A and B are shown apart, each in its own frame.
Chain A
Amino acid sequence: DAGVIQSPRHEVTEMGQEVTLRCKPISGHDYLFWYRQTMMRGLELLIYFNNNVPIDDSGMPEDRFSAKMPNASFSTLKIQPSEPRDSAVYFCASNHGGNTGELFFGEGSRLTVL
């Protein structure tokens, strides 16, 4: 397996624009997580899905953020409208449910909002 695949790797956009980040989890993994990483706040869990169903979105900053998982092999994180404080690296990760717990991270999407 190629691992968790994220796109785009880098995104530079202007304030107010819509941003869509994409993730393909490892085949067979039934959990998918979206994390945000900044220097100030570290690694923050935004939302996670189990079998394509959102389980906990308490980390989503505000209504400008939304996430979907229409099928087992694809998820999106959307920010509309984007703001400079959304600048961060967004990681998608996946794993199997159960006691293993190891998270397999994608390479991340570095977002810069000007």
Chain B
Amino acid sequence: GENVEQHPSTLSVQEGDSAVIKCTYSDSASNYFPWYKQELGKRPQLIIDIRSNVGEKKDQRIAVTLNKTAKHFSLHITETQPEDSAVYFCAASKAAGNKLTFGGGTRVLVKP
């Protein structure tokens, strides 16, 4: 089955700096790569996703890049703000059945 590795497990950045989280996946058939944000005590919520026919996608201060050859994808957060502090999860799935395999999560702390 699919295996998703996520790094780093914790990330501390100064407000205004950028944060980068990286994930690798094992199943070359995976074609959907979402990122979820989970604030303390809350549910995970989708923040951005990318499909295998696209190399990069941006939404305001967040962007995701995908390298299918290398089987890795990354989340970039620019101009970080305290409200970006949360745990971020990457995931991968094939279209059929939409079964998502999550990475282990990255705890991001943005220091004011």
Binding site for B on A (CB under 8 A): 31, 33, 42-43, 45, 48, 50, 55-56, 58, 91, 95, 97-99, 101-103, 105-108
Contacts and interface: CB of A to CB of B under 8 A. Distances in A.
A99 B32 contact: yes
A31 B98 contact: yes
Contact of A42 (B43, B93, B104): B104
B69 to A, nearest CB: 22
Report which residue of B1, B97, B103 has the largest number of chain A beta carbons within 10 angstroms of its beta carbon.
Answer: B97
Contacts of B49: 101-102
Contacts, number: 55
Given A42-B102, A43-B89, A101-B32, A56 B97 contact: yes
Contact of B43 (A58, A98, A107): A107
A47 B100 CA distance: 11
Contacts of B104: 42
Interface in B56-112: 89, 93, 95, 97-105
A31 B97 CA distance: 8
B50 to A, nearest CB: 11
16 contacts: A33-B100, A42-B104, A43-B89, A45-B101, A48-B99, A58-B1, A99-B95, A101-B32, A101-B100, A102-B49, A103-B34, A103-B44, A103-B46, A103-B98, A107-B42, A108-B43
Interface of B: 1, 32, 34, 36, 42-46, 49, 51, 89, 93, 95, 97-105
Nearest to A107: B43
Given A42-B103, A55-B97, A101-B100, 18 more contacts: A31-B98, A33-B100, A42-B89, A43-B102, A43-B105, A45-B101, A48-B99, A56-B99, A101-B32, A101-B34, A101-B93, A101-B95, A101-B98, A102-B34, A103-B44, A103-B98, A107-B43, A108-B43
